[in-house]
Structure 1
Amino acid sequence: MSDTAATMTGVVLPGNSTVEFQEYAVPEPGHGQVLVRMKASSICGSDIRAIYREHLGKGPEGYQNVIAGHEPCGQVVKAGPGCKRFRPGDRVVIYHISGCGVCDECQHGYMISCRDGSRAAYGWQRDGGHAPYLLAEENTCIRLPDSLSYIDGALCACGFGTAYEALRRMQVSGQDRLLITGMGPVGLAAAMLGRALGASTIIGTDLSDSRLTLATELGLVDVALRADDSALDLVMKMTGGHGCEASIDCSGAAPARLLALQGTRDWGRCAFVGEGGTVSFDVSKYLIHKQITLFGSWVTSLKHMEELVERLDRWGIHPDRTCTVRLPLAEAAKAYELAAGGQTGKVCIVHEE
């Protein structure tokens, strides 16, 4: 293939809050695989929590010293034997987990929940998007409409997909006021999608003034509250003492999880999507007696991610509005440092044309 080099530079995360660059051969697609030229590959909070600062866990969280980046988007440059849908020139978003394909979870499109030993996430157990090229399974690719940018697509690959899945499961609509705790990239995604789904009022909370300011400037929240000791009282006051019909914690922090639960109206729905950490609360007082449905929601399914991309196209909204830092691959160390600082919107590595 004429436009690929014999080798390429990829980003590896050694687990000590640094970035390393290593040289790799440009891969050749095998049966059912496509070679994708990267256009955008964003950084996820899970990359920071479980890989960049230190390597955590085994299985789904076991980083195997591969090329990092599990939010990739690009253009197919070569299709291997047996490919049925995508051809060179096609723009694609990549669902970031390749599962066994035959278990119940994979059959329903939730490769994120595949427990087979062959399960491998891009950027965790197989090479990801922080390199000029990515070798992808064709069955993990989703067509990116021309109306959406490559950064739009990259942000769908995990963050927006995660927010969409939780809001979808809670059936958020115009009947609901929505409380979002944690206005990082996933919280911004939840606000943008909550608005598109019709939420009548959106309240966002965070400890970061810069993130609250960003959410307000982007017009994604109706009210931005600092997540201090007064936050719950203010939420209740704004909702006539009831709380919000739906809430979502996108932070993974115990106080924010508790605030989301406490700020949910009786018979309401609350979702936890922020990874890591713990939370402790009076189960009878805040869950059972309030008749609340609590959702644990992990990423999304292939079908729902494709549905999200189609709806973004139809709604005319762009996730890339939440991307405040765009840097080339050569500045990956700076990109990770800024993402780890927790004061920006989404951070994305934008690959050269």
Structure 2
Amino acid sequence: MKNTEAILVVPGTMEIKDAPVPVPKDDEIMLKVEYVGICGSDVHGFESGPFIPPKDPNQKIGLGHECAGTVVQVGSKVTKFKPGDRVNIEPGVPCGKCKYCLEGHYNICPDVDFMATQPNYRGALTNYLCHPENFTYKLPENMSTMEGALVEPAAVGMHAAMEGGARLGKKIVILGAGCIGLMTLQGCKSLGATDIVVVDVMPKRLEMAKELGASAVINGMEEDTISRCKELVGELGADIVFETAGSQITAKQAPQIVARGGRIMIVGTIPGEVPIDFLKINREVTIQTVFRYANNYPMTIDAIASGKFDVKSMVTHVYDYQDVQKAFEESVHCKKDIIKGVIKIEDAE
């Protein structure tokens, strides 16, 4: 058994290096990684380094946190899994002791150990990794490990939809049709919503939104987003507006689109300050940020396995592990063509 890991040597350069084979603790499983999704945060890390730079300049930086594979070994106290089980992992391990964890909001635990970021910066782009049993999930027989790797971004969309109150009868606008926007679309649909308008500037993404069930799409480069949204959802505006693009432009548009008493859900990571015209939302509009997910993996796995949530169709590019540098370079430079890229991890030679 041999292990390797893809390391961010400097921004813009990934290298695959030999690594020790990890040994699972008593409460951990050891996973043979098969697929890793490329997240927008990974792409940012590749371009500019981690969102939160490590204190130690010599800290080894791994990328990737969306992964699935097969259990090859279990710790002495593990009871839910055995070698050969196909699983995925929830990449954030909270402390389990703070007020947020005890209240069930472990996604905002200040001491969470989340893969590819602080405190350990360990990435999923490796042959083998260890992970706690409590944050590992068995995949149904009809679900591939590639689909299992995409449960993580799907859970982001599901969590956003649930927090926003998506359901039948709600008029919804989603600003941004990247991976998370499309996952949010599917999360809303799985909760019963049918009147969903999706806005983006890339035709390929808008085509995918239509395939995945958007009732209408708007190309923000060709149409006036605000007036066109009002035409589609009604002059009063949308009950829920999801900002998933992580853009100041779309964040400024959201208050122009939301209805009185509606909700603006900030799902994207928006850089810098965004001025808000409170006169546009001073009729009991709620603005809420969304951070990752909490307690959403089981329902998201069920939604994918049942066919309510289609993650497989979103995969436009599959890269070999040895081509990890190419995978990230294309993720940076070919955004108009890539909806979701994944990396297939082969055995170490």
Q: Distance in 2 between matches of 1:277 and 1:212?
A: 24
Shift, 1:202, TM fit: 1.6
Report if aligned partners of 1:97, 1:111 keep a CA contact under 8 Å in 2: no
**Matching of residue 34 in structure 1 with residue 29 in structure 2:** yes
| Equivalent-residue separation in structure 2 for 1:284 and 1:67 (angstroms) | 41
> Could you tell me which of 297, 322, 327 is aligned with 2:319?
327
- Within the alignment, does 1:297 sit opposite 2:290 as a pair? yes
Quick check: 1:312 aligned with 2:307? no
Secondary structure class of the residue paired with 1:236: helix
Instruction: Give the percent of matched residue pairs that are identical in Structure 1 and Structure 2.
Output: 22
Task: Specify the SS of the correspondent of 1:19.
Answer: strand
Q: How many Å separate the matches in 1 of 2:6 and 2:101? A: 29
- Aligned amino acid, residue 138 of structure 1: E
Alignment of 1:222-237 (within 5 A): 222-228=215-221, 230-237=224-231
Say whether 1:350 aligns with 2:347. no
- Report the equivalent of 1:169: 163
Indicate the larger mover: 137-146 or 100-109. Answer: 100-109
User: Over residues 84-126 of structure 1, what are the superposed CA-to-partner deviations in whole Å (9 max), with x where a residue is unaligned?
Assistant: 211112221211111222223333554432223xx32122224
Specify the alignment match of 1:263 in structure 2: 257
Cα displacement string for residues 285-314 of structure 1 (whole angstroms, at most 9, x for unaligned residues): 22223x21111110001x222222123334
Match of 1:199 in 2: 193
Q: Distance in 1 between matches of 2:59 and 2:277?
A: 38
CA distance in structure 2 between the aligned counterparts of 1:59 and 1:320, rounded to whole angstroms: 34
Asked if the contact 1:205–1:226 (Cα under 8 Å) also holds between the matched residues in 2, the reply is yes
Letter in 2 for 1:331: D
Aligned mates of 1:93, 1:109 — CA distance in 2: 21
- Quick one: which amino acid aligns to residue 255 of structure 2? L
Runs of 4 or more consecutive aligned structure 1 residues displaced over 3 Å after TM superposition: 107-112, 314-317
Task: Tell me the distance in 2 between the aligned counterparts of 1:99 and 1:178.
Answer: 32
Conserved? CA contact 2:199–2:206, under 8 Å: yes
Aligned to 2:279: 285
8 Å contact from structure 2 (residues 255, 277) kept in 1: no
Relative to structure 1, the CA distance from residue 200 to residue 318 in structure 2 (aligned partners, 3 Å threshold; closer, same or farther) is closer
Q: Could you tell me whether the CA contact under 8 Å between 1:253 and 1:278 is conserved in 2?
A: no
- Residue 43 of structure 1, CA deviation: 0.9
Q: Secondary structure at the match of 1:55?
A: coil
From 337, 340, 343, give the equivalent of 2:332.
340
For residues 127 and 143 of structure 1, do their structure 2 counterparts lie closer, same or farther at Cα, with a shift above 3 Å needed?
same
Distance 1:113 1:63 in 2: 27
What are the residue-to-residue correspondences of 1:71-82 with 2, within 5 Å? 71-82=66-77
Describe the superposition over 1:43-84 as per-residue Cα deviations: whole angstroms up to 9, x where unpaired: 111112245433332589x99424321111111110011112
1:31 aligned partner, one-letter code: D
Conservation of the 8 A alpha-carbon contact between 1:179 and 1:244: yes
Q: Is the 8 A contact 1:203 1:224 kept in 2?
A: yes
Q: Distance in 2 between matches of 1:109 and 1:89?
A: 31
Give the match for residue 100 of structure 1. 95
Structure 1 position 214 matched with structure 2 position 208:
yes
1:190/1:213 Cα in 2 relative to 1: closer, same or farther (>3 Å)?
Answer: same
The separation in 2 between residues aligned to 1:162 and 1:145, in whole angstroms, is 20
Counterparts of residues 44-193 of structure 1 (less than 5 Å)? 44-58=39-53, 64-116=59-111, 119-124=112-117, 125-157=120-152, 159-193=153-187
- CA deviations over 1:130-172 (Å, ceiling 9, x no partner): 1111111112112221222212211112x21111111101120
Q: What TM-score, normalized to structure 2?
A: 0.90
Aligned-partner Cα distance in 2 for 1:175–1:153: 31
* Equivalent-residue separation in structure 1 for 2:46 and 2:317 (angstroms): 20
8 Å contact kept, 1:127–1:134:
no
Where structure 2 has 5 or more consecutive residues not aligned to the other structure, the ranges are none
Q: Match of 1:288, SS? A: coil
Inter-partner Cα distance in structure 1 for 2:190 and 2:202: 25
For 1:176, give the aligned amino acid: K
Aligned residues: 341
Q: Does 1:24 align with 2:22?
A: no
Distance 2:140 2:192 in 1: 23
Q: Whole-Å Cα distance in 1 between the matches of residues 58 and 187 of structure 2? A: 30
| CA RMSD of superposed structures (Å) | 2.3
Task: For residue 13 of structure 2, give the secondary structure of its aligned residue in structure 1.
Answer: coil
